[in-house]
């Protein structure tokens, strides 16, 4: 049974209709995508906290739940119930992090569902334990943006303070993954991208100052351990932690100092180890590095991505290294860049060849500098729905009737955020709103 959509959503649905008065398909698509998370993925825990499933899997990912709910921060500016719902989601995410900061997805209760046979420290509450930097960044981002959007501060509890310490502790441990990390992960009888080699430790890395990640935001294993876009996100989130600490935990000098030190070390590591001159494009960022000289030049559709660096707040859209990197990853030098007869954009090794991800197209639109580019991307997104009025995971770039996932709440939310940006509506406090 779907939930009734609050009347506060209508303002933004009408905003899109008034901005694009002749585009009836866009009106229909935006409304369906915008309300999708609210009507289909919101459940409730026994404690009465909102549990946000991904859609086709009955578990909550820390990353996806944040991204799915993020456009509703715009609604929450004037809707107190929505603001409270998001505040309570942050409280649930906080509990999840304190339960296991290495887990990426959780069950609604300790029911033992999910990948319990994986060779890692599973519990009944954990659905999956693929360690990803972004899983710890997204809840901090949501907490910060909720504060900036609505002035709600009830989520800045003692538990949240403990979670921030736990997050920094994990990030610091994973700066020295090979020597210090307790984390291991193996899944048997699966493709290589679903497990870690080297007895569950992943490929060996050398110290760079960056923090190691076992998996990408696609849930695919990293080839090299230092996932650069996620480390970029980490840098931004440490700035959020500093601001939160000064405002709500002023006596906690340890939190303030540890976040500042970690930010400095990771940022220096990115500049030292992840940037390299390209003979045609100039200084570009690699997608992954291992600290020994090996670098992977590509981009994946999932956020955090190199394409999303300004969206996340790591740099400005006109930053020279970002622009050089953008040109590279939106070219055939990125093995996951796809050119089809209908869609052109970034795909992923997570889905079939020649599939473009609408998430990546939405990010490309949000970070584009010209109106012509934004409009071209909007037209592709409208053409790529497969006549469903929804966004998908991956779409055949030459035949949008072929796609993965009938609907994908994260992708629907990203599309909604891009369309609202075309109406000059942004989440308050977010990097692109400035």
Q: According to the 3-state scheme, what is the secondary structure of 302-335? A: CCCCCCCHHHHCCCCCCCHHHHHHHHHHCCCCCC
pLDDT per residue as tens digits for the range 321-359? 999 999 999 999 999 999 999 999 999 999 999 999 999
Residue 149 has a pLDDT of: 97
Domain-located, residue 54? yes
Residues 208, 269: contact at Cβ < 8 Å? yes
- Rounded-to-integer distance, Cα 311 and Cα 422, Å: 15
Q: H or E segment at 356?
A: strand 355-356
pLDDT one-digit tens code per residue, 232-269 = 999 999 999 999 999 999 999 999 999 999 999 999 99
List 276's β-bridge partners, or say none. Answer: 284
- What is the gyration radius of the CA atoms in the chain, in angstroms? 20
| Beta-bridge partner residues of 278 | 282
CATH code of the domain covering residue 284: 1.50.10.10
Does residue 4 sit within a domain? Answer: no
Q: Is 293 exposed, middle or buried (0-12, 13-18, 19+ CB in 10 A)?
A: exposed
Long-range contacts of 261-264 (CB under 8 A, 24+ apart): 262/168, 262/171, 262/172, 262/211, 262/234, 262/238, 263/234, 263/235, 263/238, 263/239
- Which residues fall within 8 angstroms of residue 379, CB to CB, at 6 or more apart? none
Percent of the chain with pLDDT over 90: 97
Q: Which pLDDT score, from 0 to 100, does residue 1 have?
A: 42
Asked if the structure places residue 68 within a domain, the reply is yes
Number of domains in the chain: 1
On whether residue 401 sits in a domain, the answer given is yes
Q: What is the DSSP letter of 215?
A: B
For residue 425, give its domain range.
Answer: 13-433
Q: How many percent of the chain have pLDDT more than 70? A: 100
Backbone φ and ψ of 277, nearest 5°: -65, 135
Instruction: Say what the pLDDT of residue 2 is.
Output: 58
264: Cβ contacts below 8 Å, ≥ 6 apart = none
Residue 98 pLDDT grade (very low, low, confident, very high; cuts 50, 70, 90)? very high
Is residue 60 domain-resident?
Answer: yes
Distance between CA atoms of 352 and 355, rounded to whole angstroms?
Answer: 6
How are beta strands 403-404 and 394-396 bridged, if at all? antiparallel
- Measured between its terminal Cα atoms, the distance across the chain in Å is 39
Q: What is the pLDDT of residue 271?
A: 98
Residue 333, phi then psi, degrees to nearest 5:
-75, -15
Is residue 205, in this structure, part of any structural domain at all? yes
- For residues 89-99, give the mean pLDDT: 98
The pLDDT tens digits for 52-74 are 998 889 999 999 999 999 999 99
Q: In this predicted model, what pLDDT tens digit does every residue of 270-304 receive, in sequence order?
A: 999 999 999 999 999 999 999 999 999 999 999 99
Torsion of CA 399, 404, 405, 407, to 10 degrees: -40
Q: Which residues contact 225 (CB under 8 A, 6 or more apart)?
A: 177, 202, 203, 205, 212, 213, 214, 288, 290, 291
The distance from CA 365 to its chain's CA centroid, rounded to whole angstroms, is 16
Least confident of 1-5, 12-16, 30-34, 179-183: 1-5
- Residue in the structure block whose two tokens are 């400035």: 434
- Per DSSP, which regions of 93-252 are E strands? 105-106, 126-128, 226-227
Is 44 part of any domain?
Answer: yes
Of 319, 339, 340, nearest to 431 by C-alpha is 319
- pLDDT, tens digit, for every residue of 127-170? 999 999 999 999 999 999 999 999 999 999 999 999 999 999 99
* CA 228 to chain CA centroid, nearest Å: 14
- Distance (Å, whole) CA 255 – CA 250: 9
- Residues 127/133/139/142 CA torsion (nearest 10 deg): -140
Domain membership flag for residue 3: no
The candidate with the shortest Cα–Cα distance to 214, out of 135, 277, 110, is 135
Give the pLDDT of residue 159: 98
Task: Give me the mean pLDDT over the 86-110 stretch.
Answer: 98
Q: What is the pTM of this model?
A: 0.98
């Amino acid at each position: 049974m779907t939930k009734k959509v609050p009347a506060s959503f209508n303002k933004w649905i009408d905003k899109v209709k008034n901005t694009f008065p002749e585009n009836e398909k866009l009106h229909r698509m935006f409304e369906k995508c915008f309300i999708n998370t609210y009507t289909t993925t919101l459940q409730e825990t026994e404690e009465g906290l909102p549990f946000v499933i991904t859609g086709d899997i009955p578990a909550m990912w820390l990353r996806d739940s944040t991204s799915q709910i993020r456009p509703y921060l715009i609604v929450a500016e004037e809707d107190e119930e929505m603001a409270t719902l998001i505040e309570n989601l942050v409280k649930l995410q906080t509990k999840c992090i304190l339960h296991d900061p290495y887990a990426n997805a959780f069950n609604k209760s300790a029911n033992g569902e999910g990948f319990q046979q994986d060779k890692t420290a599973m519990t009944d509450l954990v659905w999956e334990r693929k360690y990803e930097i972004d899983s710890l960044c997204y809840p901090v981002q949501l907490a910060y943006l909720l504060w900036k959007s609505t002035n709600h501060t009830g989520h800045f509890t003692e538990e949240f303070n403990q979670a921030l310490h736990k997050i920094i502790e994990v990030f610091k441990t994973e700066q020295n993954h090979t020597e210090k990390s307790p984390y291991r992960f193996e899944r048997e009888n699966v493709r290589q991208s679903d497990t870690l080699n080297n007895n569950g430790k992943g490929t060996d890395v050398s110290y760079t100052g960056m923090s190691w990640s076992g998996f990408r935001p696609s849930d695919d294993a990293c080839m090299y351990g230092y996932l650069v876009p996620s480390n970029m996100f980490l840098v931004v989130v440490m700035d959020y932690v500093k601001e939160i600490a000064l405002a709500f935990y002023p006596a906690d000098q340890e939190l303030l100092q540890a976040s500042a030190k970690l930010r400095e070390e990771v940022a220096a590591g990115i500049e030292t180890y992840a940037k390299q001159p390209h003979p045609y494009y100039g200084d570009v960022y690699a997608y992954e590095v291992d600290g020994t000289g090996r670098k992977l030049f590509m981009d994946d559709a999932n956020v955090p991505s190199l394409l999303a660096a300004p969206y996340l707040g790591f740099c400005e859209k006109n930053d020279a290294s970002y622009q050089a990197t953008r040109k590279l990853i939106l070219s055939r030098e990125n093995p996951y860049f796809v050119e089809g007869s209908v869609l052109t954009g970034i795909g992923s090794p997570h889905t079939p060849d020649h599939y473009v991800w609408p998430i990546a197209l939405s990010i490309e639109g949000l970070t584009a500098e010209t109106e012509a580019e934004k409009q071209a991307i909007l037209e592709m997104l409208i053409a790529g729905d497969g006549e469903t009025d929804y966004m998908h995971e991956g779409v055949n770039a030459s035949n949008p009737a072929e796609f993965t996932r009938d609907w994908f709440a994260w992708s629907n939310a990203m599309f909604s955020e891009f369309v609202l940006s075309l109406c000059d509506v942004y989440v308050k406090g977010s990097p692109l709103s400035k």
